Structures are given as C-alpha cells and as structure tokens.
Amino acid sequence: MIKIYHNPKCGTSRNTLAILQTSGAEIEVIEYLKTPPTRAELSAMISAAGETAHTALRAKQPEAKEHGLLADGVTEAQILDAMMQDPILINRPFVITPKGTALCRPSEKVFSIMENPPKSYTKEDGEVVTP
C-alpha cells in the first residue's frame, strides 16, 4: 500500500499522484488539508524522509510569516506546532511506500521509492521525466 499526502490544487502533488497511479499499486490518497496527520505521524514522516521540520515547511505560504516561522532561531517544535494549526504549511506531497518515504519535490523524486516506476512520465506542463 502506498500513501500520498496530497493537495489536489498543487501541480507537483497531482503529477506525483499520476506517476504513482502508473504503478498499478493500491494507493491511499490523503487530502491532508481535510485530514491532517497527527503530530506524531507528521514528525515520523518528516524524519523517515530524511527531512527536518524546517525543510518540510512550505515557507512560501503567508501563514509561515504570520506564525513567525521565517525568523532565525525558530525551533523544530515551533514549526511542527504551526503545521498542526495550519496544515497548509506542510510541504507536499509526502509519499510513503514499502521502499521508503519521500517529500516528492520535484515529483520525479517519487521514482526512487517506487517498486515499479514507469520508464518515463510526461508532467502536466509537458516535461518528460525518467527514473
């Protein structure tokens, strides 16, 4: 079973989901803005992906500035707290497969954790990517 923490409004997330669908594997799509992970799930997912709360933060969101997360000295705990309050701050998409966990930015990063990656994939914008 593959899990994707997905935002259907995000092109990267849509491309990643489409790549996963080429594998034929069963996919659990979690729209994390509607059903956010628990703090423990989020922390574990970030760690398993080799990320930190800082690198998993969607810093472009206005909420990042509103929460004061762009200042020097902000702790991992403060970022996780803000992500729990405003899930839009969680960068996406996170994908969990039997081969591993990854923050799939860019979307082709998902190839590295797929058991059956496609030979190539054409993104929404027409760019062709390969594993």
User: 15-73 pLDDT, tens per residue?
Assistant: 999 999 998 899 999 999 999 999 999 999 999 999 999 999 999 999 999 999 999 99
pLDDT in tens, 96-109: 999 999 999 999 99
| Residues annotated as part of the active site | 10
pLDDT at 76: 97
**Phi, psi for 27 (deg, rounded to 5):** -125, 130
Q: Specify the pLDDT at position 122.
A: 94
Q: What is the pLDDT of residue 80?
A: 97
Q: What is the reported pLDDT for 3?
A: 97
Looking at residue 73, its pLDDT comes to 96
Measured distance CA(116)–CA(19) in Å, rounded: 10
Q: Give the C-alpha separation, 94 to 34, whole Å.
A: 15
Q: pTM above the 0.85 mark?
A: yes
Question: What topology is assigned to 1-32+92-131 in CATH?
Answer: Glutaredoxin (3.40.30)
Q: Stretch 72-94: mean pLDDT, rounded?
A: 97
How far is 117 from 99, CA to CA, in rounded Å?
12
How far does CA 66 lie from the centroid of its chain? 22
Please say whether the beta carbons of 86 and 102 come within 8 A. Answer: no
